């Protein structure tokens, strides 16, 4: 689980955007934010966590020395919960007393481990079983690598100097960097989309997100809702996410829900997209959720905006169709 809902008595102060529900303070944490909270905050919040889908009691597991990453989980998922299949198989203490002793015993070591492991955030895994790349008026953002290099996914490049504006307004996206081998934390587009749709803290987080070995962004600057898409200086790309209202009858455009002036052209990769998601007709796309790495463009009179998929490569796009 990438997210967990935290519900505390109203008097407790949750350091995130909150809303009051039945006299209690509630917020949805992403794991990337929660694991960086001070130890005393984690100790307070960890016993008030719930699965954002089935609302059953959840837990927080710290990163371990053997390489397992920090995560949320639950032993009480409902049978219909989609998070059930991805539940980590770990042994937890049977009672709160044992949990408290475990936390106190390992708190110093875990705190040090946390500072080392998560200082660079995570990397988006764009890998896919298919990739269709059509020439477009876009220069590749990512450096080309050999097949063997792409298979070596155990390290990322650490940018030593923190850019003042994250990449925004920069005409040179190839940042100078020094190579520092680190075990990468990877997340896929489906999981990130689900987290964003859960209104988790990821969308407003300062955590670093790598889109390639050399390009990193603050999560709050990288993830942009379709409803807030704007043409940026130098057409800097973003990870746009949200819901599709419908597609045209010819299946050439996807129209964003609640953003009537925004559309996503799919003609360059139409057939591959339709085949991949078994789309037969335009109504199959009604209400679909989407995330894509793209740049925002506009027409001549600036009356309509378009999201052009990066390099027209489908590995940078994920659709979640509505069932039934």
Under 8 Å between Cβ of 3 and 31: yes
| 3-class state of residue 123 by DSSP | strand
pLDDT score at 8: 79
Using the predicted structure, report yes or no on whether residue 33 has a pLDDT greater than 80.
Answer: yes
pLDDT in tens, 184-196: 588 999 999 999 9
Using the predicted structure, report yes or no on whether residue 104 has a pLDDT greater than 70.
Answer: no
Using the predicted structure, report yes or no on whether residue 50 has a pLDDT greater than 80.
Answer: yes
Measure Cα distances from 312 to 132, 140, 146, 294 in Å: 7, 10, 20, 9
Under 8 Å between Cβ of 307 and 290: no
pLDDT score at 17: 46
pLDDT score at 18: 52
Mean per-residue pLDDT of the chain: 75
Measure Cα distances from 305 to 57, 256, 296, 297, 298 in Å: 43, 11, 7, 6, 4
Read off the pLDDT band of 324 (50, 70, 90): low
Q: Which residue has the higher pLDDT, 131 or 216?
A: 216
Q: How many residues does the chain have?
A: 324
Q: How far is the C-alpha of 256 from the C-alpha of 243, rounded, in Å?
A: 6
Q: Which residue has the higher pLDDT, 18 or 220?
A: 220
- The predicted model gives 87-94 an average pLDDT of 40
Using the predicted structure, report yes or no on whether residue 52 has a pLDDT greater than 70.
Answer: yes
pLDDT score at 65: 81
Using the predicted structure, report yes or no on whether residue 153 has a pLDDT greater than 60.
Answer: no
Residue with tokens 């043409």: 231
Spans of all domains in the chain: 3-117, 122-320
Read off the pLDDT band of 117 (50, 70, 90): very low
Using the predicted structure, report yes or no on whether residue 128 has a pLDDT greater than 90.
Answer: no
- The predicted model gives 114-124 an average pLDDT of 58
Task: Please list, in sequence order, all residues whose beta carbon lies within 8 angstroms of the beta carbon of residue 89, skipping any fewer than 6 positions away.
Answer: none
Using the predicted structure, report yes or no on whether residue 173 has a pLDDT greater than 70.
Answer: no
- Whether the model clears a pTM of 0.75, i.e. scores above it, the answer is no
Q: How far is the C-alpha of 181 from the C-alpha of 47, rounded, in Å?
A: 35
pLDDT score at 32: 87
Beta-bridge partners for 14: none
pLDDT score at 313: 96
Q: Give the helix ranges, DSSP H, for the chain.
A: 31-34, 39-45, 96-117, 147-151, 189-197, 219-222, 270-276
Q: Which residue has the higher pLDDT, 117 or 267?
A: 267
């Amino acid at each position: 689980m990438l997210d967990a809902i935290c519900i505390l008595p109203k008097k407790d102060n949750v350091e995130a955007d909150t809303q009051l529900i039945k006299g209690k303070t509630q917020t949805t944490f992403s794991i990337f934010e929660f694991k960086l909270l001070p130890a005393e905050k984690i100790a307070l919040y960890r016993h008030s966590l719930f699965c954002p889908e089935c609302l059953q009691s959840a837990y927080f597991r710290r990163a371990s020395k053997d390489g397992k990453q920090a995560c949320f989980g639950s032993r009480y998922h409902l049978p219909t919960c989609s998070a059930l299949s991805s539940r980590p198989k770990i042994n937890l203490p049977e009672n709160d007393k044992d949990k408290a002793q475990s936390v106190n015993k390992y708190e110093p070591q875990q705190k040090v481990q946390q500072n080392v492991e998560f200082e660079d955030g995570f990397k988006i895994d764009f890998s896919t079983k298919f990739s269709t790349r059509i020439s477009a008026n876009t220069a590749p953002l990512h450096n080309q690598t050999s097949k063997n290099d792409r298979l070596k996914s155990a390290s990322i490049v650490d940018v030593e100097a923190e850019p003042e504006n994250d990449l925004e307004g920069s005409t040179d996206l190839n940042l100078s960097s020094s190579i520092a081998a680190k075990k990468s934390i990877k997340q896929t587009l489906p999981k990130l989309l689900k987290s964003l749709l859960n209104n988790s803290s990821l969308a407003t987080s300062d955590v670093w997100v790598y889109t390639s070995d050399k390009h990193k962004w603050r999560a709050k600057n990288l993830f942009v809702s379709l409803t807030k898409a704007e043409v940026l200086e130098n057409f800097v790309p973003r990870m746009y996410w949200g819901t599709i209202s419908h597609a045209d009858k010819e299946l050439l455009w996807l129209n964003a829900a609640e953003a009537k002036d925004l559309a996503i052209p799919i003609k360059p990769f139409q057939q591959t997209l339709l085949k991949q998601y078994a789309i037969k007709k335009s109504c199959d796309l009604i209400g679909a959720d989407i995330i894509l790495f793209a740049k925002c463009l506009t027409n001549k009179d600036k009356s309509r905006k378009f999201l052009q998929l990066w390099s027209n490569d489908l590995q940078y796009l994920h659709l979640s169709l509505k069932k039934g």
